[in-house]
Amino acid sequence: MAGTPAQDVNGRPEVAPPFSLMVELTHRCPLHCLYCSNPLEMDRVEDELSTEDWLRVIDQAADMGVLQFHFSGGEPLLRRDFLTLLERAHERDLFTNLITSGIGLTDAVLDRLVELDLGSFQLSFQGSDEAMVEQVAGGPFWKKKMEIGRKVRDLDLSLSINTVLHRQNLHQVGDLIDLAVSLGAERLELANTQYAGWALLNRDHLLPTRAQLEEASAVVAAKRAEHGDRMEIIWVVPDYFDDFPTPCMGGWGDSLFSISPDGTIMPCLSARILPDLDLPNVRRHDLSWAWYESPAFHAFRGFDWMQEPCSSCPMRFQDHGGCRCQAMLIAGDPKATDPSCIYSPHRPEIDAAIARAEARDAPEGEAEYRVLEGPTRG
Contact 311, 318 (CB under 8 A): no
Question: For another protein, what does the binding mask look like between residues 193 and 232, x meaning CB under 8 A?
Answer: ------------------------------------x---
Among 81, 129, 134, 186, binds another protein (CB under 8 A): 186
Range 225-254, binding another protein (CB under 8 A): 229
Those residues with Cβ within 8 angstroms of residue 159's Cβ, 6 or more apart along the chain or in another chain: 121, 123, 149, 152, 153, 183, 184, 185, 186, 187
The whole-angstrom separation of Cα 314 and Cα 324 is: 18
Among 37, 60, 72, 97, binds another protein (CB under 8 A): 97
Among 32, 44, 112, 187, binds another protein (CB under 8 A): 187
Among residues 60 and 337, whose Cβ is nearest to another protein? 60
Is residue 5 within the footprint of another protein (CB under 8 A)?
Answer: no
Among residues 119 and 363, whose Cβ is nearest to another protein? 119
Among 13, 32, 64, 244, binds another protein (CB under 8 A): 64
The alpha carbon torsion through 266, 70, 245, 374 (nearest 10 deg) reads: 60
Contact 81, 53 (CB under 8 A): no
The whole-angstrom separation of Cα 22 and Cα 41 is: 19
Nearest approach in angstroms of CB 18 to another protein is: 10
- Residue 25's φ and ψ, nearest 5 degrees, are -70, -35
- Residue 205's φ and ψ, nearest 5 degrees, are -85, -10
Burial of 158 (0-12, 13-18, 19+ CB in 10 A): middle
Nearest approach in angstroms of CB 20 to another protein is: 8
Specify the stretch interacting with another protein by CB under 8 A; choose among 26-34, 49-57, 127-135, 152-160: 152-160
Give contact residues for another protein (rule: CB under 8 A): 17, 19-20, 63-65, 67-68, 93, 95, 97, 119-120, 156, 158, 160, 186-187, 229
